[in-house]
Amino acid sequence: MRTKSLIIATFILVIDQIVKVSIDSFWRINEIITVIPNFFYFTKVYNDGAAWSILDGSIIILIIVAVLALIFLINYQKHFQNKYRNIIAFGLIYGGLLGNLVDRIIYGYVIDYIKILIGSYNFPVFNIADVAIVSGFILLIYAVIKGEDKNENSSK
């Protein structure tokens, strides 16, 4: 199960990094490209914090938290039933965590580029890695609700 999740994680990581490198190479910082007016935009920003710019400038703390989260999740995965949805969930989370971790290690910040406006709320700019992490955790929460985190083989 873990191997399949790591294959998915590698795919997410590669796609995430290709998109980020492309955006970083061809777009100017804070340039805004309208996709759907008053809703969906692309813009390049450098985020040296976490979501909603929490812990701005705390790169070492964010790297340590990401590494610890990966270690915890890799060990925690064995408790989940070997279902395709759970494999995908962990793969998405691993890939997203690794995508943003690579940015933090190489650049000292994360490259974000997806901008959503909902009514008057200007949602924080995010990236594919963030979407993967959130999607993976939604799937894991669903698995926990269904009791799929109680694998009979996990105690062996």
Write out the catalytic residue numbers: 112, 130
Tokens 């009791």 found at: 147
E-strand ranges in 48-153 read 110-118, 121-122
Residue 57 forms beta bridges with which residues? Answer: none
Q: Which residue, 24, 140, 128, 118, is CA-closest to 73? A: 140
Q: Which residue, 73, 82, 58, is CA-closest to 132? A: 73
Other CB atoms within 10 A of residue 84 CB:
9
Distance CA 54, CA 24 (A): 22
